[in-house]
Amino acid sequence: MSVEVEPRADRLEAARREVQGYLLKKQRSTRALFWLAGLAEASFFLLMLYFMDFGDRQSWFLFFGFLLVYTPLLLVVWRNSVKIDELYYRLVEELRYRDRG
């Protein structure tokens, strides 16, 4: 009974490809979530403006409360998207550098 062990370089390459695939999938899903959240915010924002009673103080509190709560959440999703993009491109550049050398 013999056990075949993959060379270390093959295991590292397989791990890099797996991480690259994971980051690409995460990048796409985060970008889709960002656009979906942005569209939801914009549509809700326009609906609020359409149905808002501009003379009512409670309407203004709801309007600015919505902006104060929802916009930072959108910015957090965007920041995570940027971080994932940076990780993905750093990994791609590392793989290209190793392929050349």
**Segments making up each domain of the chain, as ranges:** 16-100
- Phi/psi for 2 (5° steps) reads -110, 145
For residue 1, what pLDDT is reported? 53
**Which residues make Cβ contacts (< 8 Å) with residue 80, sequence separation at least 6?**
30
Residue 27 has pLDDT above 60, yes or no: yes
Percentage of the chain modeled with pLDDT above 70: 88
For residue 75, what pLDDT is reported? 80
